[in-house]
Amino acid sequence: MSDKMHLKMTVNGKQEDLLVEPRELLIYVLREKLNLTGPHVGCETTHCGACTVELNGKSVKSCTVLAAQAQGAEVTTVEGLSTPDDLHVLQKAFREHHGLQCGFCTPGMITRAHRLLQENPNPTEEEVRFGIAGNLCRCTGYQNIVKSILAAAAEMNAAKEAAE
């Protein structure tokens, strides 16, 4: 076993200081050391997107990111999107517009959609379809996922306008 290293990162707004092996992958640190089991292990080769989290404002597949690469980083998982009292607009939209079936891809899908709407707050349907093409869903045929994201975008934009 190789020597362990100190890993400091902010996860869902909380400072974490962990001892990890240099070879450990971010997904396992999140799931096994921080009990954040929203991000799932799907394919372990960056293709399915079930493990998607945000790392310093970018969507990453945490199954192929070394935990060491998150040194000093801000990490957001699906658990970080809601507050104890309220769901995030995207979370509500996925529930109300039936953007899920088995739910296994859902945390990664919502996390990716969250970043997509930061990058492009007002996407067309086509931009949504290509923007989440790195996250696989085997159940829904994607129709309701796209609907959910577009509905959330509309609601977030309306809220922004009302605030301005």
Partner 1 sequence: MSIAKPLPHDAARLHVTGQARYVDDIPPPRDALHLAFGLSEIAHGKITKLDLGKVRAAPGVVAVLTAADLPGANDVSPSAHDEPLLAEGTVHYVGQPLFLVIAQTHLAARKAARLATVTYDEHPAILTIDEAMAANSRFEDGPRVYEKGDSATAIKDAPNTIEGSMEIGGQEHFYLEGQAALALPLEGDDVLVHSSTQHPTEIQHKVAEALNVPMHAVRVEVRRMGGGFGGKESQGNALAVSCAVAARLTQRPCKMRYDRDDDMIITGKRHDFRITYRAGFDDDGLLRGVEFVHYARCGWAQDLSLPVADRAMLHADNAYHLPHARIESHRLKTNTQSATAFRGFGGPQGMVGIERVMDHIAHHLGYDPVEVRQRNFYTASQQISETTKPQTTPYGQAVDDFVLHEITETLLAQSDYAARRKAVAAWNAQNPVLKKGIAYTPVKFGISFTLTHLNQAGALVHVYQDGSIHLNHGGTEMGQGLFQKVAQVAAASFGVDVEAVKITATDTGKVPNTSATAASSGSDLNGMAVQAACDTIRERIAEHLAQTHQTDPRRVYFENGKVFVGDDEMTFAAAAQSAYQARVSLSTTGFYKTPDLAWDRLKGQGRPFFYFAYGAAVTEVVIDTLTGENRMLRADILHDAGTSLNPALDIGQVEGGFVQGAGWLTTEELIWDAKGRLRTHAPSTYKIPACSDRPDIFNVSLWSEGRNREDTIYRSKAVGEPPFMLGISGFMALSDAVAACGDAYPALDAPATPECVFNAVNRGRTS
- H helices of the chain, in order, are 26-28, 89-96, 106-119, 125-131, 143-163
Question: Smaller CB distance to partner 1: residue 73 or 106?
Answer: 106
Our CB check for partner 1 shows the closer of 8 and 14 to be 14
Q: For residue 68, count CB atoms less than 10 angstroms from its CB and return exposed for 0-12, middle for 13-18, buried for 19 or more.
A: middle
Angle between helices 106-119 and 89-96 (to 10 degrees): 130
Least distance CB 164 / partner 1 (angstroms) = 28
Question: Per rule CB under 8 A, is residue 137 in the interface with partner 1?
Answer: yes
Block residue for tokens 């739910």: 103
In this structure, the strands spanning 52-55 and 58-61 are antiparallel
**22 in contact with partner 1 (CB under 8 A):** no
Q: What residues from 74 to 133 belong to the interface with partner 1 (CB under 8 A)?
A: 77-79, 81-82, 87, 90-92, 94-96, 98, 100-107, 110, 126, 128-130, 132-133
Which stretches of the chain bind partner 1, using CB under 8 A? 1, 31-32, 35-45, 47-48, 50, 77-79, 81-82, 87, 90-92, 94-96, 98, 100-107, 110, 126, 128-130, 132-146
